[in-house]
Chain A
Amino acid sequence: NAGVTQTPKFQVLKTGQSMTLQCAQDMNHNSMYWYRQDPGMGLRLIYYSASEGTTDKGEVPNGYNVSRLNKREFSLRLESAAPSQTSVYFCASSELQGKSPLHFGNGTRLTVT
């Protein structure tokens, strides 16, 4: 099993450009999450999907949108990238929201110039 797979691994955008970060999990997990990680700030929750068909805002949702395409896939979209969105983005999945461990992908390193 691959676990949680994120694409791309690296991306450079110019301010105002858009892009979609892709995430897929093969563990049949119900819940999926997008976090961002910045130096000194730890992991902060952007959006989550407790189950297929639902999505909700996390701690830092502004400037992002998400789509839970099916049980396996959860994408994160930046409609108009800003330098403040330069970060490392992690997708994660868990069997049950708040009651079981999150399994993380290896991240997408995004730079917005």
Chain B
Amino acid sequence: GESVGLHLPTLSVQEGDNSIINCAYSNSASDYFIWYKQESGKGPQFIIDIRSNMDKRQGQRVTVLLNKTVKHLSLQIAATQPGDSAVYFCAENKGGSQGNLIFGKGTKLSVKP
């Protein structure tokens, strides 16, 4: 989910479990959505994207779900590993085609070995 104040929401999971990170987006006209992973001291890294004509898209160990009715996006990570520990951001192209990407504030994923 979205952060409040200076502290990011944190999701703590056990290694090997599945993780689900949620994001609410704001604009019904947004038609392109992306998930990014950011490790400490590095730039955001592209994970997976989805267009509004799809409800679900799968990658390697990751699945993105899009619910346009309630403007909700989720990232599922299967068999979470310690290397998945990072901050995860969702982004939408607010305003639709030609709109720039607007980022959520992020969720910190912590994986316990």
Contact = CB atoms under 8 A, between A and B. Distances in A.
Among A4, A40, A48, A101, max chain B CB count under 10 A is at A101
Nearest to A99: B32
Interface residues of B, number: 29
Interface in B92-113: 93, 95-106
Contacts of A58: 100
Given A40-B3, A98-B93, A104 B44 contact: yes
Contact of B45 (A44, A97, A104): A104
Contact of B96 (A48, A50, A98, A103): A98
Contacts of B3: 40, 42
Contact of A90 (B43, B97, B105): B43
A42 B89 contact: yes
Interface size class on chain A is 20 to 34
A42 B106 contact: yes
A90 B44 contact: yes
B43 A107 contact: yes
Contact of A101 (B46, B95, B102, B105): B46
Nearest to A50: B98
Given A40-B5, A40-B6, A106 B42 contact: yes
Q: Which 8 A-B pairs have the closest CB atoms?
A: A104-B43, A40-B6, A98-B93, A42-B105, A43-B103, A101-B46, A98-B99, A106-B43
Given A50-B98, A98-B93, A98-B96, 8 more contacts: A4-B43, A42-B106, A45-B102, A97-B100, A98-B99, A102-B44, A102-B101, A103-B46
